[in-house]
Amino acid sequence: MQSFSTVRRVLAALAVTLVAGTMFSQSAQAAAPTKIRDKTFSIGCQVEDGGTRTQFAVGRSELAGTDAHFQVHTDGFFQLGGEGVSDWTDSTVRASVEISDADGKRAGTAYLSATYRVSSVGDRELNRFKDGNIRVVEDHTVSQLAVTDVVLMVNDKQVPGVTCEGNAVDGYLFFTAPSSYVVRGNFLVAENCATENMSDLFFQGSIDAMAVNFDYADSADASAFSQELDLSGGSWTGEFTYTNGDGPVGQVDASVSAVPNGSIIHDWVEKSGVFTARWAMTPYLLTVTADGPVSAASGTCQVYDIDETIHVKTGKLAG
């Protein structure tokens, strides 16, 4: 099952795409909200024999139809695979897939059949969020499937020891369609960095949710990175994670400070009758210090915390 953050990204992208497709050919007025309902069933089967893993997955959607996917990997390397469709009834599923080897040569047929039934009370998952000014609701119920009478065959030879699991998902996606799409985001831009024993100094996020990482100049494959830092109060003191070529190996004392050093700069990055992008840039003098495996490292940069607002008048995008 996907995490909420993954679901959010997928749904947000889908909502924006569908809103755009719905509204680009309309006048500059809000369209009616959209509600998309679907019911899906999915079953995944696999068996491991030494370093070889064989997998066969089938799915059914009231909106998208059916699918089937077969793969064999040995020690992580692809050996066989193929895709196709599946045939479903209210209690059975079967699929036959033509397969090819790693060189793309025809390698026979894989077959799966099984019976299934809903085996649990459904768990409801309700997510409400906004992507810009688009309101999105994702509401579905997930039930587990009991899968029995499984037969998996590859080139008419039955594969033993197969285990399967599956679920049924029933729900809907709802999103609004405003006449203009407005979204805001933050990011950091750094310049004029002066460093000591530090290379590839990099900042990500925003001033109140920042991540720092850099390489040590005096040690091969040595680097350090921070947890998420909130510098809205001006400074932070704690520990960075130190890594070498084999991965994280410990913690090093570190500090980061952000001192405002100028007025907020307002700038129209792009402006037209359809699209506008506006930046509000807050300048900081940002200093990073950290102990190191050989010697300490430090860097000071001019950093701009940029608050970007994008406004698309979707009703004017018609040709």
pLDDT at 12: 38
Between CA 145 and CA 170 the distance in angstroms is: 13
Neighbouring CB atoms inside 10 A of 272's CB total 9
119 versus 5: the higher-pLDDT residue is 119
User: Which pLDDT tens digit goes with each residue over 185-225?
Assistant: 889 999 999 999 999 999 999 999 999 999 999 988 899 99
Helical (H) or strand (E) element with 181: strand 181-196
Query: Quick one: 236 and 265 in the same domain?
Result: yes
How crowded is residue 290: how many other Cβ atoms within 10 Å of its Cβ?
24
Which range (21-25, 178-182, 250-254, 266-270) has the least confidence?
21-25
**What percentage of the chain's residues is helix, strand, coil (to nearest 5)?**
5, 70, 25
CB atoms within 10 A of CB 156: 8
pLDDT above 60 for 139:
yes
Task: Reply yes or no on whether the pLDDT at 317 is more than 60.
Answer: no
pLDDT number for residue 101: 95
- Assess if residue 238 is contained within a domain: yes
Query: Residue 110 has which token pair?
Result: 């894989």
Residues paired with 145 in a beta bridge: 118, 166
| Window from 32-41, 188-197, 290-299, 308-317 with minimum mean pLDDT | 308-317
Structural domain harbouring 166: 35-176
Q: Examine the domain organization and report whether 167 and 188 are in the same domain.
A: no
Q: Is residue 299 pLDDT above 90, yes or no?
A: yes
194 and 303 belong to one structural domain: yes
Lowest-confidence pick of 130-144, 206-220, 265-279: 265-279
DSSP single-letter state for residue 219: S
Q: 43 near 147, Cβ under 8 Å? A: yes
Query: Among 142, 176, 210, which residue terminates a domain?
Result: 176
Q: Percent of the chain beyond pLDDT 70?
A: 88
| Domain identity same for 109 and 123 | yes
- Three-state DSSP at 12 gives helix
- Amino acid, res. 158: Q
Q: Do 69 and 195 sit in the same domain of this protein?
A: no
The domain boundary, picked from 124, 153, 176, lies at 176
Asked if residue 25 is part of any domain, the answer here is no
**Same structural domain for residues 232 and 299?**
yes
| pLDDT band per the 50, 70, 90 thresholds, residue 315 | low
Q: Tell me, yes or no, whether 30 lies in a domain.
A: no
- The band of 5, judged by pLDDT with boundaries at 50, 70 and 90, is very low
Asked whether residue 290 falls in the same domain as residue 309, the answer is yes
Last residue of a domain, one of 176, 205, 236: 176
Q: Is residue 69 in a domain?
A: yes
pLDDT tens, residue by residue, 66-86: 999 999 999 999 999 999 999
1 in a domain, yes or no? no
Q: What is the CA radius of gyration of the chain?
A: 27
Q: How far apart are CA 88 and CA 92, in angstroms?
A: 6
Are 193 and 226 in a shared domain?
yes
The whole-model pTM stands at 0.57
Short-list 126, 104, 53, 112, CA closest to 84: 112
State whether 152 and 261 are in the same domain. Answer: no
- How many alpha carbons fall within 13 Å on the CB side of residue 233? 5
Weakest-pLDDT range from 6-20, 141-155, 214-228: 6-20
Give the mean pLDDT of the chain.
87
| 78 and 139 fall within a common domain | yes
Residues 302 and 227 in one domain: yes
Q: Is residue 85 in some structural domain?
A: yes
Task: Yes or no: say if 172 and 139 are a contact pair by the CB < 8 Å rule.
Answer: yes
Evaluate if residue 319 carries a pLDDT over 60. no
Positive or negative, the Cα torsion across 271, 276, 282, 285?
Answer: negative
What is the pLDDT, as a whole number, of residue 19?
Answer: 42
For the chain, what is the domain count?
Answer: 2
Pair 112, 191 in one domain: no
Give the mean pLDDT of 158-178.
93
In the three-class reduction of DSSP (H, G, I as helix; E, B as strand; rest coil), residue 294 is classed as: coil
Q: Is residue 144 included in any domain, yes or no?
A: yes
Model confidence at 25: pLDDT above 50: no
The yes-or-no verdict on residue 9 having pLDDT over 50 is: no
Is 48 a member of any domain?
yes
